[in-house]
Chain A
Amino acid sequence: MDEQLKKAVADAIRRSGFSTIMAGKLFTAEELAREVENETEIGRKMIEIAIKGTIERYSRLKK
């Protein structure tokens, strides 16, 4: 997976600072960011969520 993409998602998670419950576990912002950087299953899911969200956000802004 693209390193820049991973870094962008991980940085956004760190910046927001909130904890996240995902796949039955509670992750701090730092833990979730590391999941993204290490490209674990949770990390990949988070990247997928971020990509889908970004596409929708920008397509809405365009209208």
Chain B
Amino acid sequence: MGGNDCTFIRPAFDLVTQILNTKFSPEVIEYARVRAYSITDLYGDKANKTDLLGVLLRYFPATVFAYSHGTEDEIIGPDSTSSVLDLGNTVWLTGKIVVLNACLTGQRLAPALVHAGARAVFAYNDTLAIRVWSDTYEPLEGFRECINKPKIIFDGVKAKDVYEAAIAEYNKWIEYWDERDPVTADVLRHDRDSFALYGNGESKITFSTYLLIGLTDTFIIAYAALWAVLQVIKRTEFLWRKK
């Protein structure tokens, strides 16, 4: 509970949300998982307000990632007519680091989240455009790397450094595509210029606290196991002791 929990909001109600949540978000979930973060995955129909509130109350996640359609005021889900996160429930994300991989949410939703107490919010203040292969819908090289770059927040990196790293990643791939396909480079430029950080740039996941919690848990389990073995030895002493 707490610093090592992370919640993902991943509706999948149309082709675009399915692409986002089969080609993009799984990489970030895996990144967090191998670092021993506890994941709560609100996928598909679970990406609704009721389940989100339940998860937030139960696990107190330090970070929330959302991959969906967005407008200035909301993250859409679990279907095209509902919103899972909007100006009415911003207070739910107080104290959290939030990553909104959706169009336009940087315009009003992200500032509103910060105003309601979110520590830092990454969002796009214009359309998020993505280029994909026409046959497989796999993203072109660079898009996944750039959009998923905020995953390094799981390494205990400060929000402002995550932002700088994301911009650097965009610039790297813009240079790559400038020589191969200028339209793709221009789309990446547009995404880079739309990407913004709101809130406190010094925010980060307190990795040391997370490790301490993990070690304390391990220590308690080891102590309990040792105590149980000693009890067994003590109580069966009459069976094996030489007389």
Contacts and interface: CB of A to CB of B under 8 A. Distances in A.
Contact of B186 (A17, A21, A52): A52
A34 B133 CA distance: 19
A12 to B, nearest CB: 5
Contacts, number: 73
Nearest to B126: A45
A53 B189 contact: yes
B134 A18 contact: yes
Interface string A21-59: 111111011000000000000000100011011101100
B134 A21 contact: no
Contacts of B181: 16, 18
Contacts of A53: 182, 185-187, 189-190
Contact of A49 (B69, B140, B178, B187): B187
A20 B186 contact: no
A29 B133 CA distance: 10
Interface string B31-69: 000000000000000000000000000000000000001
A62 B131 CA distance: 27
Interface in B72-116: 103
B185 A57 contact: yes
A28 B130 CA distance: 12
B122 to A, nearest CB: 19
Name the interface size band of chain A.
20 to 34
Interface residues of B, number: 26
A49 B186 CA distance: 6
| Residue of A23, A24, A57 with most partner-chain B CB within 10 A | A24
A18 B140 contact: yes
Nearest to A12: B183
Contacts of B127: 22-23, 45
Given A18-B140, A52-B186, A53-B182, A28 B134 contact: yes
Contacts of B184: 16, 18
B110 to A, nearest CB: 18
For the complex of A and B, list the 7 residue pairs with the smallest distance between their C-beta atoms, beginning with the closest: A53-B186, A21-B130, A49-B190, A19-B134, A24-B69, A16-B183, A16-B181
Given A18-B184, A20-B129, A25-B16, 11 more contacts: A16-B184, A18-B181, A23-B127, A24-B69, A26-B19, A29-B134, A45-B127, A50-B186, A53-B182, A53-B185, A57-B185
